[in-house]
């Protein structure tokens, strides 16, 4: 059986959004302190016994999150056409972090986006 390692790191950012077409209060401007769980996978350890340094995962994820932090998500280029739901935010973050982090040895495994302490979505494209 092949070995697989999944590394997880947590980050957060704050932003506002409004959900177009939503039949309730979330159609109004409101904000969240989002929590993000980034999970990266790999099968091989490097010469010092790591798949990837956690600092490197965080560096790549922070580059993407910086674009969204303290912003109105609906104004972001990606969310002009795509509704900034937790699900669509998860897909966007997954794809953008994966572009930066993916190598022959490492790739995104999944991402979990928490909009509050009770509600989250996990996305992967396996």
CA angle, 98 then 121 then 29, to 5°: 100
60 is in an annotated binding site: no
User: pLDDT of 104-123, one tens digit each?
Assistant: 999 999 999 999 999 999 99
Half-sphere exposure of 29 (CA within 13 A, CB side): 7
The residue extents of the domains of the chain are 5-123
pLDDT value, residue 2:
78
Q: How far is CA 22 from CA 18, 116, 117, 118, in A?
A: 9, 18, 21, 20
17 is in an annotated binding site: yes
Q: Is the pLDDT of residue 126 over 80?
A: no
The closest alpha carbon to 67, from 31, 102, 111, 97, belongs to 97
CATH of 5-123, one of 3.40.50.2300, 3.40.640.10, 3.30.360.10, 3.30.479.10: 3.30.479.10
Active site residue ranges: 26, 70, 115
pLDDT value, residue 111:
98
In this prediction, residues 12-37 reach a mean pLDDT of: 98
Q: Which percentage of the chain shows pLDDT scores above 70?
A: 99
Q: At 7, is the pLDDT very low, low, confident or very high (cuts 50, 70, 90)?
A: very high
SS3 content of the chain, % helix, strand, coil (to 5): 35, 35, 35
In this prediction, residues 70-76 reach a mean pLDDT of: 98
The mean pLDDT value of the chain amounts to 96
CA angle, 15 then 118 then 112, to 5°: 65
């Amino acid at each position: 059986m092949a070995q697989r390692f999944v590394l997880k790191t947590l980050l957060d950012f704050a932003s506002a959004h409004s959900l177009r077409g939503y039949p309730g209060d979330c159609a109004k401007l409101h904000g969240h302190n989002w929590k993000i769980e980034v999970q990266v996978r790999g099968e091989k350890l490097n010469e010092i016994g790591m798949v990837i340094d956690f600092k490197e995962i965080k560096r790549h994820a922070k580059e993407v999150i910086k674009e969204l932090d303290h912003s109105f998500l609906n104004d972001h280029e990606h969310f002009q056409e795509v509704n900034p739901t937790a699900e669509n935010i998860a897909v966007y973050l997954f794809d953008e972090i994966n572009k930066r982090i993916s190598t022959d040895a490492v790739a995104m495994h999944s991402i979990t986006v928490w909009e509050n302490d009770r509600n989250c979505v996990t996305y992967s494209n396996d």
